[in-house]
Structure 1
Amino acid sequence: MSSATSTRRDARRNHERLLAEARTLFAERGIDAPLDELATRAGVGAGTVYRHFPSRDALLRELYDQSIAMFHEMAPEIHSAPTGWRSIELLLERLSEWIAATPYLPELMRRVAEIDPHHRPGLAFADGLEKVIERAKAEGSLRSDVESSDLNVLINMLGSLGRFGGDYLPFWRRQLAIVLDGLRARPGLEPLPGPAQSFDDFDRMAHRQTR
């Protein structure tokens, strides 16, 4: 193995270690935690941190983009579920669980919106989410007045349980079961009050954009 190849491999290893430690550090202390502490946790010098991430914003942007990529990786399992209802279950379960385990995510979304107000990759999920909803409605398993923004809000509500820390994570499925029961179609349901917020408006609100 050439020295150049070894150097590149070490650099990739350091990069991934820094990202992994940043997730843990930010989950514990928020996205403004000292980067010197990140260096210490990753076992590298402060200079190595800044060679990989010239600024805190660069680190946050990469963590954000990795989060979006992870959502995309979940999509095939959700869309290939045997029934529309199972797709709904997987959607709420997978995304809520991940957000609960990533308590810094709302703060990260707001910061990236400040860094780049026009970067809104979440809009790419709108069509896929609509397909999941329409499939479940067509089979009669999802109540007919549920919209995509409703599911987004519920996912964020469930995910917000992560603020209580890891001690609560074994119990969050109770709330998931309650939410799923409320989404099921059944005879005699009272219509939901008022119209649903649009997906676009919710996405702007989640990122706290006013433009």
Structure 2
Amino acid sequence: MTTSARPPQDASQPRRRDARQNRERLIDEARSLIAEHGVDASLEEIARRADVGVATLYRNFPTRDDLVRALYDIALAELFAVRAEIEAAPTAWAGVVLYTERLAEWLVADPSLPPILKRMATIDPTARPSVEFEGFIASLVAQAKKDGDLRPDVDSMDLAVLVTMIGSLGTLGGGYTGQWRRQLSLVLDGLRMPEKPRPKLPGRPLSVKEFQATVHGLTRRAKRAARGSRSAD
């Protein structure tokens, strides 16, 4: 009688699974703690909450900046995942609505994002991986205006500022967090072309450089960019 030989068990498989789960817990707890205390939150506390040793944290993220970069990359992947959904919208206006809804929901759900963005500007002031997405939204806004659905004195940076403002409700917690849909509905009503003319908006929208400088915490490089943009107006 013959017996079939069992394939040798890969002893590394459980370790790889454990390592992946440890990394995922560290990411989750880092987001939570950064939302509470900013990017200078205790790395030891992140490891404790993730139920791993500090050595495991440093094995995954040798420096605090490595952790911030990882969180930033995850955030960008989440942002770009929304693009296909926006592109499938039946009209440009519907795409604008979807864009504002998804981004506001994203920011409310993860209050760690603003401090992560600010720290990334310090780590790498030249990093602008979202440029392509910004161009996509700008073209969507232009089409919505051309269709007569979006008021003509609004541009994509206005949307970015408004979504950032609404998303900040996530940092307040409590009853404020659940208010974002209502506040966004009020904003969208103000953006849509009315049946009767409304007064023109005061001032002007921020340029892309000015918006980036504001969101990323006004580094010296960003300040120069913003000043240069203002002087050119």
Partner of 2:211: 202
Partner of 1:107: 115
Q: Percent of pairs identical after alignment?
A: 47
Summarize the Cα distance change of 1:197–1:29 in structure 2 as closer, same or farther, 3 Å threshold.
closer
TM-score w.r.t. length of structure 1? 0.93
SS of corresponding position for 2:59: helix
Task: Name the structure where helix makes up a greater proportion of residues.
Answer: 1
| Higher normalized contact order (CA 8 Å, seq sep 6+, divided by chain length) | 1
Stretches of 4+ aligned residues off by more than 4 angstroms: none
CA contact (8 A) 2:35 2:171 kept: no
Partner of 1:191: 200
SS of corresponding position for 1:189: coil
Partner of 1:140: 148
CA contact (8 A) 2:101 2:184 kept: yes
Could you say which structure has the larger radius of gyration?
2
Distance 2:198 2:136 in 1: 27
**CA offset digits 1:181-209 (Å, max 9, x no partner):** 11011231222223322223312331123
| Counterpart mapping for 1:66-81 below 5 A | 66-81=74-89
CA contact (8 A) 1:101 1:166 kept: no
CA contact (8 A) 1:204 1:210 kept: no
Question: 5+ residue gaps in structure 1?
Answer: none
Distance 2:13 2:173 in 1: 41
2:199 paired with 1:155 = no
SS of corresponding position for 1:121: coil
The letter for the 2-side match of 1:206 is V
Partner of 2:229: none
Partner of 1:17: 25
2:13 paired with 1:5 = yes
Question: 5+ residue gaps in structure 2?
Answer: 1-8, 222-233
Partner of 1:87: 95
CA contact (8 A) 1:150 1:196 kept: yes
CA contact (8 A) 2:104 2:180 kept: no
TM-score w.r.t. length of structure 2? 0.85
SS of corresponding position for 2:197: coil
